[in-house]
Amino acid sequence: MKRICAKASGFFTAAVSILLACVITGILMYGMGYNPLDAYYQLFFGAVVGLSALSESVVKMVPLVFTGLSFAIAKRSGLVNLGATGQLYIGALCTTVVGVYVTGLPAALHIPLALAAGCAGGAAYGAVVGFLKNRFQANELITTIMLNEIATELVNCLVDGPMKDLDALTKFPQSKAILDSAVLPKILTGTRLHAGFLLALLAVALYGVFMKRTKWGYELRVVGMNPSAARTAGMSVQRTQLLAMLLAGGFAGLAGSIEMLAIQKRLMQSFAGNLGFDGIAVALLGGNQPLGILLSAFLFGMMSNGSNKMQMLSNVPSAVIYLMQGLIILFVVGRYLYSKKLWEGLIPQRKSRREEVRP
């Protein structure tokens, strides 16, 4: 019962945050001279109504699920992984190398190999953070940000140098195209919906099982919530956090990998936009819980998809969506200001007794 209550309270907070963000964004749009109701109508319409709109939202959601999981799993172990961007680029890079230069494989081998390369690349890049933290007590906030720079610049250099596609007509800095045998298949004809969606669902399920049902997930959670209790119970905080960073990097690497194999098909400069940092927002809104991440990734995918339609039909600049996403995060982070009182007001018979009672 308590469990269910806690879960419901998480959804409640998320819903209130979204609602408040919508209201405030609406007021701002009104102030700028737009019709917010029309904008929201177009946004919603463009994101979910019709097969192509809906499938496009799901396509946008897929990488966010992975970067969300990346932030969440590190967070559960007590680390703040701001490095999903870097891990994603390294993942995409490794995948591209396998997808372009390894030839002669059937798809059944080439796709898994390319995905595994991306996952491993991201994981290794994430492990660097864990290593630096364990060995030199380097703060992961700083190392992850710095490693982001290194990874993106590395990709920039490579696609304008050794990996540059010289055969193409344009001299655009980009790699050769991924071979057909490595391209992720579509799963719905007439749309861009690809097998990466299934992988995302699988990843979320694995994440849930891992956290709740395995001893490593248990270790990870204990380390994240109370490291000194973890030590007393004989867990190694360092090793556990290293594992968390490996997995976090792996998830982010897969995000890049799948983007490459299903959507972009060529490595190019700053192809990932904001995917890395949006993952933080997804994880925060989803409360680091599997179902929460899935839903909030869908919401963010929907918003980014619908915003184009909104811009076209209501003239509202799509940047408004970033504003709204920012507000959502502000309200989620600042939930302690309002959520408890509101929630308790809704369920008066089950007041939480979290308040400290001094003896």
Partner 1 sequence: MAFLEMRHIRKTFGSTVANDDVSLSVERGEIHALLGENGAGKSTLMNILYGMYPADSGEILLNGRQLHLAGTKDAIANGIGMVHQHFMLIPEQTVIENVILGNRGNPFVLNLKEQARRFTELAAKYGMEVDPWCRVDQLSVGQQQRLEILKALYKNAEILILDEPTAVLTPQEVQGLFRMMRQLTDSGCTILFITHKLPEIMDVCTRCTILRQGRTVCSMPILPGADQHELAVRMVGQEVELALHKQAAHPGEEVLRVTGLHCARSDGVEAVRGVDFSVRSGEIVGICGVDGNGQSELIRCITGLLRPSAGEISICGTDCSGAGVKRILRQGVSHIPEDRLKMAVVKEMDLCENMILMHYDQEPVCRHGFLSWRAARLQGEKICRTYQVRMSSLTQAVQELSGGNQQKLVVGRELAQDPKLLIAVHPSRGLDIGATKYIQNSIIAARDRGAAVLMVSTELEEVMELSDRILVMFNGCIMADIRQADATREKLGALMAGIKGGQTCGS
| Binding residues vs partner 1 (CB under 8 A) | 1-3, 213-216, 218-219, 221-222, 225-226, 228-229, 231-234, 351-359
Q: Which is nearer to partner 1, 13 or 67 (CB)?
A: 13
Q: Which is nearer to partner 1, 162 or 353 (CB)?
A: 353
Q: Which is nearer to partner 1, 229 or 346 (CB)?
A: 229
The residue to which tokens 């991306």 are assigned: 118
- b/e per residue 322-343 (b: at least 16 CB within 10 A): eebbebbbebbeebeeebbeeb
Q: Least distance (Å) from partner 1 to the CB of residue 12?
A: 18
Residue (of 9, 21, 20, 12) closest to 321 by Cα position: 21
**β-sheet bridge partners, residue 249:** none
What tokens appear for 119 in the block? 């996952």
Phi/psi at 46 (nearest 5 deg)?
Answer: -70, -20
Contact between residue 97 and residue 110 where contact means Cβ atoms under 8 Å apart: no
Q: Least distance (Å) from partner 1 to the CB of residue 205?
A: 15
Q: Could you give the CA distance from residue 287 to residue 272 in angstroms, rounded to a whole number?
A: 24
Q: Which is nearer to partner 1, 106 or 234 (CB)?
A: 234
The residue to which tokens 């680029």 are assigned: 89
Q: What is the number of other CB atoms lying within 10 angstroms of the CB of residue 24?
A: 15
Q: Which is nearer to partner 1, 80 or 209 (CB)?
A: 209
Rounded to a whole number, what is the largest CA-CA distance in the chain?
A: 77
Q: Which is nearer to partner 1, 106 or 348 (CB)?
A: 348
Q: Least distance (Å) from partner 1 to the CB of residue 262?
A: 32
Q: Least distance (Å) from partner 1 to the CB of residue 29?
A: 39
**β-sheet bridge partners, residue 174:** 268
Q: Least distance (Å) from partner 1 to the CB of residue 342?
A: 15
Q: How far is CA 261 from CA 176, 237, 306, in A?
A: 12, 36, 24
Q: Least distance (Å) from partner 1 to the CB of residue 223?
A: 10
- b/e per residue 182-202 (b: at least 16 CB within 10 A): bbbeeeeeebebbbbbebbee
Q: Least distance (Å) from partner 1 to the CB of residue 216?
A: 7
Q: How far is CA 93 from CA 163, 171, 246, in A?
A: 10, 20, 17
Q: Which is nearer to partner 1, 132 or 220 (CB)?
A: 220
Q: Least distance (Å) from partner 1 to the CB of residue 347?
A: 12
Task: List, in order, residues 6 or more apart from 180 with CB less than 8 Å away.
Answer: 107
Q: Which is nearer to partner 1, 172 or 216 (CB)?
A: 216
